[in-house]
Amino acid sequence: MPKAQKIIIDTDPGQDDAVAILLALASPELDILGITAVAGNVPLKLTEKNARKICELAGKPDTKVFSGAIRPLVRELVTAEEVHGKTGLDGPDLPEPKMKLQDQHAVDFIVETLMAEESGTVTLCPLGPLTNIALALIREPKIAKRIEKIVLMGGGFFEGGNVTPIAEFNIYVDPHAADVVFRSGVPIVVMPLDVTHKALTTSKRVAAFRKLGTRVGIATAQMLEFFERFDEEKYGTDGGPLHDPCVIAYLLKPELFKGRECNVSVETASELTMGMTVIDWWGVTKRPKNATVMRDIDHDGFFALLVERLGRL
Ligand code: RIB
Ligand code: CA
């Protein structure tokens, strides 16, 4: 087997983040150097605890979990308890974590790891607001050339937004951080709502997780049944979009996704369009192609990968 890909997962769990973390922990192709928590779906105190709960659910209590930014760079924190519940992981009743949180700040961990590891060998996987990533780039600009790539969930274009008519949550919460990341020159792969809205947790798919009959399988079904209800109601669909695992699935099976290189710019001034990702899919501007934006997914293949891998935990 080729050498495992070294990754750092930056996350705001969040049930969909949780499934992404489980997928990564179940996959030997990935070497998870650390999981860094950021404020987003719920406040930081909960996202860092939820990250540890998920590591223990996966039977991987030695995973290093770090706590990062408590709020966005400029704007006030906006959270999403209406989607994820008060704890951020409503659905299963997971025990309080026993594993310790790392003392080091997440941003310091990201910078020190990137400066210590061989240049161009570490991939960053942001699943929430980009505050930690932006702070690391600001604290030590040298890391920009040392990051292999960033694969992130965020933004939207033809699909519009999910927090405002035109802005997706991760970018909306911290548009200034997103602007720093998209201007950084780091190779970026984007999983926008245009992809994730095609990966719906239909009842048949949720049943497949439950049918695993394992603690992970049952907890995943419970998480998805809670998490999907908000979007089912909003979009009138069977199931809700499973956003964050698309990032990890891309690392494991990039052939599941289709997209193209284009410019992504972030609105940070207008209140009307704050946090909008202006994605030049048709190349009508001369703006630099700073990202590979995905638009299509083999959703059956995606869920088959998820069930197979989570079945290993
Ligand atoms: O808009 C979806 C994104 O916002 C996902 O990452 C979800 O976990 C929330 O963070
Ligand atoms: Ca998330």
Alpha-carbon distance of 22 to 189, in angstroms, equals 21
Alpha-carbon distance of 99 to 105, in angstroms, equals 17
Is-contact 190 152, C-beta < 8 A?
Answer: yes
Of 246, 131, 247, the closest CA to residue 178 belongs to 131
* Token output for 200: 């719906």
Provide DSSP, 15-74.
HHHHHHHHHHHT-TTEEEEEEEE-SSSS-HHHHHHHHHHHHHHTT-TTS-EEE--SS-SS
Is-contact 98 62, C-beta < 8 A?
Answer: no
Q: Whole-model pTM?
A: 0.98
* Token output for 78: 């906006």
Distance 243 CA to ligand 2 centre (A): 8
Is-contact 303 209, C-beta < 8 A?
Answer: no
Encode the chain (313 residues) as per-residue pLDDT tens digits. Answer: 789 999 999 999 999 999 999 999 999 999 999 999 999 999 999 999 999 999 999 999 999 999 999 999 999 999 999 999 999 999 999 999 999 999 999 999 999 999 999 999 999 999 999 999 999 999 999 999 999 999 999 999 999 999 999 999 999 999 999 999 999 999 999 999 999 999 999 999 999 999 999 999 999 999 999 999 999 999 999 999 999 999 999 999 999 999 999 999 999 999 999 999 999 999 999 999 999 999 999 999 999 999 999 999 9
Where exactly are the structural domains of the chain? 5-310
Alpha helices (runs of H) in the chain, residue ranges in sequence order: 15-25, 44-57, 81-84, 106-116, 131-139, 169-173, 175-182, 193-196, 203-210, 215-235, 245-252, 299-310
Q: How far apart, in Å, are the Cα atoms of 265 and each of 131, 138, 178?
A: 17, 18, 9
Pocket test for ligand 1, best of 173, 234, 243 (most atoms within 8 A of CB): 243
Phi, psi angle pair for 260, to nearest 5°? -150, 160
Residues in the chain: 313
Pocket test for ligand 1, best of 15, 84, 169 (most atoms within 8 A of CB): 169
Alpha-carbon distance of 135 to 180, in angstroms, equals 9
Of 208, 107, 179, 191, the closest CA to residue 154 belongs to 191
Alpha-carbon distance of 277 to 160, in angstroms, equals 9
Q: How far apart, in Å, are the Cα atoms of 313 and each of 58, 98, 303?
A: 6, 19, 16
Query: What is the model's pLDDT at position 2?
Result: 83
Quick one: CA torsion of 34, 110, 78, 164, rounded to 10 degrees? -100
- At residue 266, the 3 state secondary structure works out as strand
Asked whether 162 lines ligand 1 (CB < 6 A), one says yes
Longest C-alpha distance within the chain, in Å?
53
Asked whether 16 lines ligand 1 (CB < 6 A), one says yes
Atom of ligand 1 at shortest range from CA of 16: 8
Asked whether 14 lines ligand 1 (CB < 6 A), one says yes
Query: What is the model's pLDDT at position 300?
Result: 98
Exposed, middle or buried by CB within 10 Å (0-12, 13-18, 19+), for 103? Answer: exposed
Is-contact 293 192, C-beta < 8 A?
Answer: yes
Distance 261 CA to ligand 1 centre (A): 23
* Bridge partners, residue 6, by sequence: 31, 122
- At residue 252, the 3 state secondary structure works out as helix
Looking at domain 5-310, its CATH architecture is: Alpha-Beta Complex (3.90)
